[in-house]
Amino acid sequence: MVTSTTPATPYQVLARKYRPSSFESLVGQDAMVQTLDNAFKVGRIHHAFILTGVRGVGKTTTARILARAFNYADAAGARPTLDLSKEGLHCAEIIAGTHVDVMEMDAASNTGIDSIREINAMTRTPPMSAPYKVFIIDEVHMLSTSAFNGLLKTLEEPPPYVKFIFATTEIRKVPVTILSRCMRFDLRRIAPEVMTDYLGGLLAREAVFFEPEALSMIVRAGEGSARDCLSLTDQAIAHGGGEITAQSVRDMLGLADRARIIDLFEKLMGGDIAGALDEARALYDSGADPTTIVADLAELTHLITRIKIVPSAAEDPVLTPDERGRGADLAQRLGLRILTRTWQILSRGLTEIAQSGNGLQAAEMVLIRLAYAADLPGPEELIEKLSSPPAEGGGPLAGPSVSAGGGGMQARAMAPVQRLQLAPVAAAAPQAAALPAPKSYEQLVALAGEKRDLLVKHALESDLKPVAFETGRIEIALTPTANLAIVSTLSARLKEWTGRPWMVTVSTRQVDAPTLREAREAERDNQRNAALEDPLVKAVMETFPGARLVDIRTRADTEEAEASAEGPEMAPIDPEDDE
């Protein structure tokens, strides 16, 4: 036995259910509405309009509302108006798309001259019931060249009862001969704050619970398109079982947690490659696509760069609290050179991932390259380093790189090149025994030289000034060119070398004392000046015109240099090891 049941009312998607039917309910196009309102008030209503903009901003909807405004009529008679608060005689049929005097044509499926000939023929007869015949041609850029040519004459001199409204997403493909005959309106992407308020009110009417963070994700994914946002909202309601949560939207869109993306970014900028790879793998295991992870990193890089240049960008309502707070902090700590190079590496990495057979492996290689190579010095920086005097005990590139473009963290402070050279040795060699703790700043410099850590040695000599020194604690002052990350690097190196923790703090006091390198150079200058005043040197200089004082060496310097030259041949093995 078959029981007959009444079919349920078909569900109407939010994009159709809440489609605007008047300019008061149109979202995010205030400039266009203001222009039209003024034109209607003074009776200067054009006969042809062209609406352009990205998908889903309301081009076809605006065309129907305009058709309704042209043909508005009530018991008092017909009169064009933008005040559509009260439904007129023709409004319902126009909004539904069934009015006989309002013809809609999709140019994507009617591209030829024959369709335009039909329109030209219809313009010869007056409207049947409404004041105007309105022709709405969607995606008008799809018309063929012959179709555009066939429309020109009618578009330039139409009958007084004919109005044309064109809509297109590709305004540059429309011939200028068409554009010059139309009043053009560029419909803008809907601002995030406007879209957020709109969706919030809509969900309140639908009695759907939502989390603000989830709504921000939807607005961001919608990219300023009302239709896209509404479609994603529909999908999110279904995915979340009647409610919209941040986790359900994240799962639906395949997004990574924004806070975890920032964690990953900070690990990359700090040179923690192992931690970055673990974080990326955790994001992948939680459902984030490798392409999405790298794309999110690129988006975060753009956001931080924008905040650095325009600090007010941190107040964007679609940003999460982590993006606002931590993004602004990173913008202060990272220089523009680092950020632009990071963007370039991530952008190229997206192409590599798309072409790779294994997206996760390609993404991990991009992250490794970013951590190691994103901070390599630029051409102007290399020129500056090669032109500057070499640091004692190292070449011109031995010391930490200095960026004039931005203070703070600078990502480069962890010396990725140095780690790249030392990591294999550290992995293969057994754990070294802890060395005695240095008792003075000079002993610390000597220890860095003994460990062949040129980065730390150069920083201790050229970028840091000792303020206080005791076992386990060092207070230093930084020069203007010093890299802040040397503080954490020095603390980690001391713990590694001595086997005990060290606290390295930056002094807030004004320190006028010179760095070790400045003091050494000043002493060398004093020695040079004293030598030039020596009577014997003066006599030599007078005897040999054009002679120059090239270097000054004491007897102790000479003996030390001779001992260093003989050392490798006479003592290939350390005497302490021999004992």
CA neighbor of 44 nearest in space, from 36, 52, 53:
36
| Chain centroid offset of residue 347 CA | 11
| Chain centroid offset of residue 278 CA | 23
Note whether residue 241 is domain-resident. yes
Q: State residue 466's pLDDT score.
A: 85
Note whether residue 152 is domain-resident. yes
112 near 86, Cβ under 8 Å?
A: no
**Owning domain of residue 125:** 14-186
Q: State residue 431's pLDDT score.
A: 47
Examine the domain organization and report whether 181 and 196 are in the same domain.
no
What is the reported pTM? 0.55
Tokens found for residue 483: 């890299």
Q: What is the count of structural domains for the chain?
A: 4
Examine the domain organization and report whether 274 and 302 are in the same domain.
yes
Note whether residue 9 is domain-resident. no
Examine the domain organization and report whether 18 and 148 are in the same domain.
yes
Examine the domain organization and report whether 172 and 222 are in the same domain.
no
Q: State residue 381's pLDDT score.
A: 60
Domain boundary among 373, 389, 423: 373
Examine the domain organization and report whether 111 and 249 are in the same domain.
no
Q: State residue 37's pLDDT score.
A: 86
First to last CA, the chain: 103
- Range with the largest mean pLDDT of 277-286, 387-396, 569-578: 277-286
Tokens found for residue 48: 């042809």
Examine the domain organization and report whether 168 and 19 are in the same domain.
yes
Examine the domain organization and report whether 35 and 142 are in the same domain.
yes
Q: pLDDT per residue over 414-465, tens digit each? A: 333 333 333 333 333 344 556 778 888 888 888 888 888 888 888 888 888 8
Q: State residue 474's pLDDT score.
A: 86
The model's confidence at residue 8, banded by pLDDT at 50, 70 and 90, is low
The model's confidence at residue 92, banded by pLDDT at 50, 70 and 90, is confident
Note whether residue 434 is domain-resident. no
Q: Which residue has the higher pLDDT, 253 or 165?
A: 165
What CATH code is carried by the domain that includes residue 313? 1.20.272.10
Q: State residue 421's pLDDT score.
A: 32
Note whether residue 392 is domain-resident. no
Examine the domain organization and report whether 281 and 209 are in the same domain.
no
Q: pLDDT per residue over 95-138, tens digit each? A: 888 889 999 998 888 888 998 999 999 999 999 988 999 999 99
Examine the domain organization and report whether 92 and 232 are in the same domain.
no
Examine the domain organization and report whether 143 and 170 are in the same domain.
yes
Query: What single-letter DSSP state applies at residue 356?
Result: -
Examine the domain organization and report whether 233 and 102 are in the same domain.
no
Which residues lie below 8 Å from residue 514, measured CB to CB, with a gap of 6+? 465, 522
Examine the domain organization and report whether 217 and 302 are in the same domain.
no
Note whether residue 158 is domain-resident. yes
**Mean pLDDT across the chain, nearest whole number?**
79
Confidence check: pLDDT of 387 > 80:
no
Domain boundary among 253, 281, 304: 253
CA neighbor of 256 nearest in space, from 294, 222, 204, 218:
294
Note whether residue 381 is domain-resident. no
Note whether residue 361 is domain-resident. yes
Domain boundary among 164, 186, 208: 186
